[in-house]
Amino acid sequence: MDETNLFNKGFFKNILDRLPIPASVKEAQTLKYVYCNDAFANLFGKAKEQIFNKTTPEIFDKNISKTIVSADEWVCNSGQPKTELIYLAKNLTQVVAYELINEPYFNDITNSLQFIISIFQPLRKAISADEILRETEILYKKIFESLPVGVLIFRDNDFTIIDVNSHFLCTFGVELDQILYNSFFNLPFCSQQEKFKSLLQIAKETNTEQQFEFSYQLPNGRKLETLTIVSYIHFLTLDPLYFLIISDISSLQEINREIISFVQKEQELFSLKNRFISIVNHELISPLTAITLAVDLLQRFGDKLPIVEKEKQFEVIRDSVQTIKKLIENAMHLEQLTSDTFLITPRKIYIKNFLEDIINKLQALFENKNPITINIASDFEIEIDEILLNLIFNNLISNAFKYSPPGTPITINVEYQDNWLIASVNNLGEVISPEDITKIFNPFFRGKNAYKIKGFGLGLSLVKKAVEILKGTIEVESYPDAGTTFLLRLPTNLTS
């Protein structure tokens, strides 16, 4: 049996038709009305023939339809009841509020949604237009105060401020009595009056929003950066108004600056790697050519060359291999120290033994050309990344050997102060100019005192990067009588 007959014939129809509460039934699949009682038809002033087998938008005006359709869609999608509030005009000055209750009706056999039953329950007696106006005003004030942006409203004829929300007062740190009924141009951030007047005039003449940014120093010293939108409003017979919306974009600007800084660093890193690859390609040619020539000479004339000449060619090969090895090491260090995945791995080491191992290897490499002294009261244990510490001291002491005239002393001072390793490495080589000192840690930079020394200008930049990773500091001083000293401060209780 067609279940719609339950509503349109017999016992159920008689009961539903006599109900004083408006009710209707819609088919869930088509949302067409299959039944409505007399109260429903009378409420909307429609004959039942105008309602049956039609959808809500085909029967009612747009405002009523929107609410009913929204409630119907909710029931269809969720299978749950839905309640909405509907206001129906009784006459020109009175409105009646109804609670629309939408209930789902499921087929007993298929358990599928078959009908939507709607009941219109009167909430209260008719309310006057004045009451609606008061409620609307209260709602406006609630919205106005809860906006997450500063809002200021002032008149066009004399620029007197007539309303302002709490967010504006908080943003600029002012009180209501300092703002309300004062001229807009008396506000502290309106120092550039001509600029503001120009923007207000454009908004008025073109009837378009004007958007601009400005900065303002708050009394507490904080710099406020804002995005401001100006609108000109002329509604019916009301006095024209300016509507000002101010958003605090200080945090957004800071994020933008960080993004720009990050992009610049990425570009610098990309440029750095390209320069390094170019230099590596260039610098590899010389040692590889030297090795090729030496090997070729030994192959062709090895049995005829004197021992001294053979040893000289072998020395050329060894030096060239060392040059290539150093290039590869620097490339690896550069890649590791500029990688986001680089991890500090602290371990406990005794600093005196650690430095003596480095010095012994470098003394052999530089054939003991300079006496070296370590001034340390007693050996002490520190916890630090050994690889980074080795890179730092290896480069600093190696440079001291490179730039020291033969026989001149190299001095290393080391002490422990409040969980900090304090160290200095001094040599008496040629003084570094003040101009070069400012650039000495830049990748590939080589000072005027380095023109006779082989190198790639990467050692000190790697030292600087390693020190930064370890959260330490490094400085350099260079004077004619005292020589050049690198001053190092490193924390000694690092965690991974």
pLDDT at 426 over 90: yes
Quote the mean pLDDT of the chain: 82
pLDDT at 204 over 80: yes
- Helix-, strand-, coil-residue percentages of the chain, each rounded to 5: 45, 25, 30
pLDDT at 156 over 80: yes
Q: Which pLDDT value is given to residue 11?
A: 59
Q: Under a CB-based contact definition with an 8 Å cutoff, are residues 415 and 376 in contact? A: yes
> Coil, helix or strand for 380?
coil
Exposure string of 286-313, with b = 16+ CB inside 10 Å and e = fewer, is ebeebbeebeebbeeeeeeeeeeeeeeb
Q: Which pLDDT value is given to residue 116?
A: 93
Q: Under a CB-based contact definition with an 8 Å cutoff, are residues 435 and 485 in contact? A: no
Q: Is 105 exposed, middle or buried (0-12, 13-18, 19+ CB in 10 A)?
A: middle
**pTM greater than 0.95:** no
**Cα distance between residue 31 and residue 56, in whole Å:** 8
Q: Which pLDDT value is given to residue 482?
A: 86
**Cα distance between residue 64 and residue 210, in whole Å:** 37
pLDDT at 149 over 70: yes
Start-end of H helices in 182-243: 193-206
pLDDT digits (tens, 9 = 90+) for 314-372: 888 887 787 777 767 766 766 666 666 667 788 888 888 899 988 888 888 788 889 99
Beta bridge partners of 484: 427, 478
**Cα distance between residue 17 and residue 7, in whole Å:** 9
Q: Is 284 exposed, middle or buried (0-12, 13-18, 19+ CB in 10 A)?
A: middle
pLDDT at 496 over 50: no
pLDDT band at 226 (very low <50, low <70, confident <90, very high): confident
Q: Which pLDDT value is given to residue 413?
A: 94
Beta carbons within 10 angstroms of residue 166's beta carbon: 14
pLDDT at 194 over 90: no
Q: Which pLDDT value is given to residue 456?
A: 58
**Averaged pLDDT for residues 5-28:** 77
Output DSSP code: residue 249.
-
Torsion of CA 206, 211, 215, 218, to 10 degrees: 90
**Cα distance between residue 277 and residue 87, in whole Å:** 75
Beta carbons within 10 angstroms of residue 328's beta carbon: 12
pLDDT band at 227 (very low <50, low <70, confident <90, very high): confident
**Averaged pLDDT for residues 454-483:** 84
**Cα distance between residue 220 and residue 214, in whole Å:** 18
Q: Which pLDDT value is given to residue 168?
A: 87
Q: Which pLDDT value is given to residue 148?
A: 82
| Structural domains for the chain | 5-127 (3.30.450.20), 147-248 (3.30.450.20), 258-337 (1.10.287.130), 346-491 (3.30.565.10)
Cβ partners under 8 Å of residue 96, min gap 6: 87, 88, 89, 90, 122, 125, 126, 127
Q: Is 164 exposed, middle or buried (0-12, 13-18, 19+ CB in 10 A)?
A: buried
Identify the CA nearest to 171 among candidates 232, 125, 218, 131. 218
Rounded (10°) angle between helices 459-469 and 307-337? 40
Q: Under a CB-based contact definition with an 8 Å cutoff, are residues 472 and 385 in contact? A: no
pLDDT band at 69 (very low <50, low <70, confident <90, very high): very high
Identify the CA nearest to 434 among candidates 393, 480, 391, 467. 480
Q: What percent of the chain has pLDDT over 70?
A: 84
Start-end of H helices in 232-345: 250-301, 307-337
| Least confident segment among 44-48, 126-130, 339-343 | 126-130
Q: Which pLDDT value is given to residue 346?
A: 85
Q: Under a CB-based contact definition with an 8 Å cutoff, are residues 387 and 426 in contact? A: no
> Coil, helix or strand for 164?
strand
**Cα distance between residue 94 and residue 460, in whole Å:** 85
Beta carbons within 10 angstroms of residue 244's beta carbon: 22
Token digits for 122?
């009167």
Angle CA 122–123–124, to nearest 5: 100
**Cα distance between residue 92 and residue 89, in whole Å:** 7
pLDDT digits (tens, 9 = 90+) for 277-310: 665 665 566 677 778 888 888 888 878 888 888 8
- Pairing state between β 241-248 and 223-233: antiparallel
Q: Is 267 exposed, middle or buried (0-12, 13-18, 19+ CB in 10 A)?
A: exposed
Beta bridge partners of 473: 489
**Cα distance between residue 401 and residue 142, in whole Å:** 76
